[in-house]
Amino acid sequence: MPAVLHAHDAAKVAGELYNSAQNSSRVWAGVGLRFNLPTVVDGRVYVGAKGELDV
């Protein structure tokens, strides 16, 4: 199952700003790994996936 990235407003956590499944033809993450935490560096999100690193 592909990973889905969700971004929420820090002041109002219920307000979702972005969801990578909104435009699945353009943004598609690989198959997620267990116990894997995304890392944010310089405004980019790095996510380890099966056999790849998604940015």
Residue 14 counted as domain residue? yes
Average pLDDT over residues 1-27: 78
What is the CA 21 to chain-centroid distance, rounded?
A: 9
pLDDT of residue 39: 84
Residue 16 counted as domain residue? yes
pLDDT of residue 1: 60
pLDDT of residue 2: 67
pLDDT greater at residue 9 or residue 5: 9
Residue 1 counted as domain residue? no
pTM: 0.57
Bridge partners (DSSP) listed for residue 40: 45
pLDDT of residue 37: 80
Which residue range is the domain that position 20 belongs to? Answer: 6-54
